[in-house]
C-alpha cells in the first residue's frame, strides 16, 4: 500500500480498452464522419452508374468498390483512434518515410492513367496515390520536429520541417499536382504558426508562394490553363465546371429529385471531384448545407478540444490534421461552385477513391486519438498558475 501511495509501483488502469475508448472519444466528430460516409454511399448510388455503363461494368460496380474501400477506411480509423499518441507518432514517421520514397519514385514507375499527371501506381486490381498517405504522415512528422525544437537543447526541427515541406511541394508540383502541394504547405504553415512562428516569417513565406505561383503560371501550360479558365468571365458549358455550375443552378433549394439529375451523364468525374454537383442537383441546397455543417462541426470541435491540450506535439499534430481535413473539403466544394481554380481533389469520405478514403480514414483516426479526453490538467491551469 505504501509503495502505491508514494508512486514506486505504477497503478495500472484496469478499465477495458473499448469502454475506455467510447468514454474518451469525441462522439460528435465520430458521428459526423459516419454520416459523411453514408452520404457518400448515397451519392455514389446516384453518380456512378453512368460511368459504370460507359466502362462496361455492372451498374453498381463503383458503389461496391467504394463500400469495400470505405469499410477498410473505417476499420483503419477505428484502429488508429485506439492508439496512444506516442504509438501514432512512431508509426506515422515510418509511414512518412515510405510515402516520401514512393512519391520520389513516381516519375520512374508511376502512371497518369491518361490524365496528364503522374500521380498513381497501377497495381492491376487498383491504383495507389502516394500523396494521399503522405499528407497525414507528414503532418505528424512535422509536428514532432516543431515540438522537439521548442525543448531546451532540441534539434532545429522547424528548419528541418520546412526543408521537408519544400521537397514535398516541389515533387508534387512536378507531377503536376498543385492542389495537393498547396494543401501540404497550408497544413505545415498552420502548425508553424501555432508553434510560435513570427509573423514576419509567415508573411515572407506567403510572398514566396505568390512568386512561385507566378513562375508556375509562366512556365506550366497545365497550371496556366486552369488559372485562365478560372479567371475567364464566361464559362464553357461543355467543360466540367460548366456542367457542375449548371447542375447546381438546376438543383435549387430542394433539388430536382432522387435519380432525376442529368449532370452525372456528362461529368466524367461526377463520382469523385464533382460529387457535390450531383448532391446539389438531386437533393438541393439542403443536403449541401448539411454536408458543410458536418465538416465544420468536426473541425471546430477538434480545434476546441486541442486548445485544452498540454502536450505541444499533440496540439500541433491535431491542429494540422483538422485544418487539412477542413481545407480539403473547402477546396473541393469551392472548385465546384467556381470560387477556386480546378484542383482535382476529392471530398473527404464522400468522393469515390480507394487511396483517398483509406488515407483519410487513417488521418481522422489520428485526429480522434489526439482529441480523446486524457487524465491531465488543461493548458489553462498552467497559465493561471503562472499568473499567481
| DSSP output for 88-112 | HHHHHHHHHHHHHHHHHTHHHH-B-
Share of the chain above pLDDT 90, in %: 44
Q: How far apart are CA 322 and CA 307, in angstroms?
A: 12
pLDDT of res. 5 = 44
Mean pLDDT along residues 111-115: 77
Residue count of the chain: 388
Contact partners, residue 118, CB within 8 Å, separation at least 6: 106, 107, 110, 111, 112, 175
Q: pLDDT band at residue 339, thresholds of 50, 70 and 90?
A: confident
Residue 155 φ/ψ, nearest 5 degrees: -75, 165
* C-alpha closest to that of 345 among 119, 48, 100, 10: 119
Percent of the chain with pLDDT strictly greater than 70: 91
- Banded pLDDT at 301 (limits 50, 70, 90): very high
Cell of 319: 491542429
Condensed to tens digits (0 to 9), the pLDDT of residues 186-216 reads 999 999 988 887 777 778 877 877 887 788 7
Confidence of residue 6 (pLDDT cuts 50, 70, 90): very low
Task: Say how far apart CA 287 and CA 39 lie, in whole Å.
Answer: 9
What mean pLDDT do residues 17-22 have?
Answer: 90
Q: In the predicted model, what is the mean pLDDT of residues 246-265? A: 82
Amino acid at each position: 500500500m505504501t509503495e502505491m501511495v508514494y508512486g514506486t509501483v505504477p497503478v495500472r488502469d484496469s478499465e477495458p480498452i473499448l469502454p475506455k475508448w467510447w468514454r474518451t472519444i469525441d462522439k460528435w466528430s465520430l458521428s459526423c464522419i459516419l454520416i459523411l460516409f453514408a452520404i457518400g454511399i448515397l451519392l455514389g448510388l446516384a453518380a456512378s452508374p453512368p460511368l459504370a455503363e460507359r466502362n462496361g461494368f455492372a451498374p453498381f460496380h463503383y458503389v461496391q468498390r467504394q463500400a469495400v474501400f470505405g469499410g477498410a477506411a473505417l476499420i483503419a480509423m477505428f484502429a488508429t483512434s485506439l492508439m496512444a499518441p506516442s504509438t501514432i507518432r512512431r508509426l506515422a514517421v515510418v509511414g512518412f518515410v515510405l510515402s516520401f520514397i514512393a512519391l520520389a519514385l513516381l516519375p520512374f514507375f508511376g502512371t497518369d492513367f491518361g490524365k496528364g499527371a503522374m500521380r498513381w501506381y497501377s497495381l492491376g486490381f487498383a491504383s495507389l496515390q502516394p500523396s494521399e498517405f503522405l499528407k497525414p504522415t507528414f503532418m505528424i512528422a512535422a509536428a514532432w520536429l516543431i515540438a522537439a525544437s521548442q525543448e531546451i537543447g532540441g534539434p532545429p526541427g522547424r528548419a528541418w520541417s520546412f526543408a521537408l515541406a519544400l521537397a514535398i511541394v516541389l515533387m508534387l508540383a512536378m507531377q503536376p499536382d498543385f492542389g495537393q502541394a498547396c494543401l501540404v504547405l497550408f497544413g505545415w504553415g498552420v502548425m508553424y504558426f501555432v508553434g510560435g512562428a513570427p509573423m514576419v516569417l509567415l508573411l515572407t513565406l506567403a510572398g514566396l508562394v505568390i512568386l512561385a505561383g507566378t513562375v508556375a503560371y509562366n512556365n506550366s501550360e497545365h497550371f496556366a490553363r486552369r488559372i485562365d479558365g478560372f479567371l475567364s468571365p464566361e464559362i464553357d458549358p461543355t467543360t466540367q465546371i460548366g456542367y457542375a455550375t449548371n447542375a447546381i443552378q438546376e438543383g435549387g433549394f430542394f433539388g430536382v429529385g432522387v435519380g432525376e439529375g442529368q449532370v452525372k451523364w456528362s461529368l466524367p468525374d461526377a463520382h469523385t471531384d464533382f460529387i457535390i454537383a450531383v448532391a446539389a442537383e438531386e437533393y438541393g441546397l439542403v443536403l449541401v448545407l448539411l454536408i458543410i455543417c458536418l465538416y465544420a462541426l468536426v473541425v471546430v470541435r477538434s480545434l476546441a478540444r486541442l486548445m485544452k491540450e498540454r502536450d505541444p506535439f499533440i496540439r500541433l499534430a491535431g491542429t494540422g490534421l483538422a485544418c487539412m481535413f477542413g481545407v480539403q473539403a473547402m477546396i473541393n466544394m469551392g472548385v465546384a461552385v467556381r470560387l477556386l481554380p480546378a484542383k482535382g481533389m476529392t471530398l473527404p469520405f464522400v468522393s469515390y477513391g480507394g487511396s483517398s478514403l483509406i488515407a483519410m480514414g487513417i488521418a481522422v483516426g489520428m485526429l480522434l486519438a489526439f482529441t480523446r479526453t486524457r487524465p491531465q490538467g488543461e493548458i489553462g491551469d498552467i497559465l493561471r498558475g503562472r499568473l499567481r
